A and B are shown apart, each in its own frame.
Chain A
């Protein structure tokens, strides 16, 4: 099946820093989604991307659908303690395929 490589696995940063994480695939994806999971909760959708090259923002979050359709990144600007959690990328490949999830990036923010 399709696989997504998400990096980094974890990040420990200071409050106020910017954060960048990305996902890559060996195959083409038609949709990229970014989720955040708070401890003890289910993943919550942050940003959805549907076109190659698309750049979308949601507050301090910005995500892009790579031109090659094989990658996507998520940036968080001016991080705050409530940004702590696990961030997942997910993608849908060509045809009627199910979503594939990356293994997640754990973000820790020090006040």
Chain B
């Protein structure tokens, strides 16, 4: 099993550009989430989904959109990139709410 796969691994954007970070899992997990990791801030929850068609906001949702059309995929969209969104983004999945989460390898995003 591949587990949780994120693409791309690295990305540089100009301010104002939009892009989609891809996340796919092959463990048939219902729960998926997106985190951002910044130095000294730990992992902060952006958006999460408890199943196909259901999404909700986390701690830091502004500037990001998500959708969940299938169990496997949970893309994160940056609508208009800002330098404050320079970060490492992690996608995670778990069987249910609050249980063991499995993480992807991360996407390192720089907005200039």
A85 at the interface (CB under 8 A from B): no
- Are B42 and A97 in contact (CB-based, < 8 A)? no
A104 at the interface (CB under 8 A from B): yes
* Cα-based distance from A44 to B3 in the complex (angstroms): 12
Residue from B4, B40, B101, B105 within 8 A of A99 (CB atoms)? B101
A42 at the interface (CB under 8 A from B): yes
Residue from B40, B41, B59, B97 within 8 A of A1 (CB atoms)? B59
Q: State how many residues of chain A have any CB contact under 8 Å with chain B.
A: 24
- On chain B, the residues within 8 Å of A104 by CB distance are 42
Query: Would you give the 0/1 interface string for B77-112, flagging 1 where the beta carbon is closer than 8 Å to chain A?
Result: 000000000000010100001111111111000000
- On chain B, the residues within 8 Å of A35 by CB distance are 103
- Are B104 and A88 in contact (CB-based, < 8 A)? no
* Cα-based distance from A22 to B45 in the complex (angstroms): 21
- Are A30 and B105 in contact (CB-based, < 8 A)? no
